[in-house]
Amino acid sequence: MKRNDWCLKDGEYHLTVLGVVARPDKTFLITKRVMTKAWAPGWWEVSGGAAQAGEASRDAVLREVKEETGLDASEAEGGYLFTYKRENPGEGDNYFVDVYRFVMDVEDKDLKLQTEETDGYMFATLEQIRAFAAEGKFLHYDSIKKVFEF
């Protein structure tokens, strides 16, 4: 199916991945969505996106992290943690989300953010992420909050 050009039947799903980059000090790389995004502009999020046809989940998450942050997480500690499912009956957009956590030493100089997607970043503590979530400004928090627990 072409990206953003599908209408899934009830019971059909596409695969999405999220890759959380954590540092050994238990801070997490989060990015702020550009204000030109049609959905959730200015919200905080972690790297992720849809898998391409025939692409394995791990390959998809490594590609998304690389595209969005410039980081190569292929040798990082960690990996797959869990999957959750989102169903939107009658809307044609049902999906599974494979969630990964990669622990690696990352410094500001290592980042090459995708400027058309992001409008800033931070290495946030769990408390900061929870505060953004409480404001309703952190994507998927309720579905992925256990990824931030070590």
Residue 7 lies in a domain: no
Q: Which spans in 5-147 are helix H?
A: 57-69, 126-134, 141-144
Contact in structure between 50 and 15 (CB atoms under 8 Å) = yes
Question: Which tokens in the block code for residue 109?
Answer: 């100089």
Burial class (CB in 10 A: 0-12, 13-18, 19+), 128: middle
- The whole-number pLDDT of residue 8 equals 59
Domain containing residue 95: CATH number = 3.90.79.10
Cα distances (Å, whole numbers) of residue 140 to 10, 95, 115, 135 = 22, 13, 21, 13
Residue 45, in any domain of the structure: yes
pLDDT of residue 7: 66
pLDDT of residue 4: 54
Residue 132's pLDDT is 98
In a domain, 4, yes or no: no
- Token digits of residue 62: 């490594």
Number of domains in the chain: 1
Look up the pTM and report it.
Answer: 0.91
98 SS3 class: strand
User: Does residue 65 fall inside a structural domain?
Assistant: yes
The pLDDT profile of the chain, 150 residues, written as one tens digit per residue, is: 555 555 656 677 789 999 999 999 999 999 999 999 998 999 999 999 999 989 999 999 999 999 999 999 999 999 999 999 987 777 667 889 999 999 999 999 999 999 898 999 999 999 999 999 999 999 999 999 999 998
**Tokens (6 digits) for 77:** 């500690």
Q: How high is the pLDDT of residue 94?
A: 81
In a domain, 3, yes or no: no
Which range marks the domain in which residue 103 is found?
14-139
Q: Tell whether 69 is covered by a domain.
A: yes
Q: How far apart are CA 68 and CA 113, in angstroms?
A: 6
